[in-house]
Amino acid sequence: GQNIDQPTEMTATEGAIVQINCTYQTSGFNGLFWYQQHAGEAPTFLSYNVLDGLEEKGRFSSFLSRSKGYSYLLLKELQMKDSASYLCAVSNDYKLSFGAGTTVTVRA
């Protein structure tokens, strides 16, 4: 079975940093993806981790610990346009299992 947990909602101030945690217990693991989804739109790819450690991409970073079944997405220098849902997804072979998503609201 697949169990992927992430917080439902988070609120932060423009310019601040927010960390979205994701814990997983899955029957297989080939990597972990993070997607961003604005309301009413398609999910878009943000990051991919397959090895332990931190992957940095501009204002966004993602971390993975396979032994702990844990990942986080770090959003720095928050902007209003970062208000969206962030989806954690575990890859097993060529299929993805998604968490329910974390809605981030950025306040001015």
**CB 11, min distance to other proteins, A:** 18
Site for other proteins contains 71 (CB under 8 A): no
Among 64, 84, 87, 104, binds other proteins (CB under 8 A): 87
Would you put residue 30 in left (φ > 0), alpha (ψ -120 to 50) or beta? Answer: alpha
Using CB under 8 A, which of the segments 34-42, 56-64, 65-73, 74-82 binds other proteins?
34-42
Among 12, 48, 61, 76, binds other proteins (CB under 8 A): 48
Other Cβ atoms within 10 Å of 66 Cβ, number = 15
Site for other proteins contains 73 (CB under 8 A): no
32 contacts 90 by C-beta, under 8 angstroms = yes
Site for other proteins contains 70 (CB under 8 A): no
Among 36, 101, 104, 106, binds other proteins (CB under 8 A): 101
**CB 30, min distance to other proteins, A:** 5
Sign (positive or negative) of CA dihedral 45, 28, 93, 95: negative
For the chain, state the CA radius of gyration.
13
Helix and strand numbers, DSSP H then E, in the chain: 0, 11
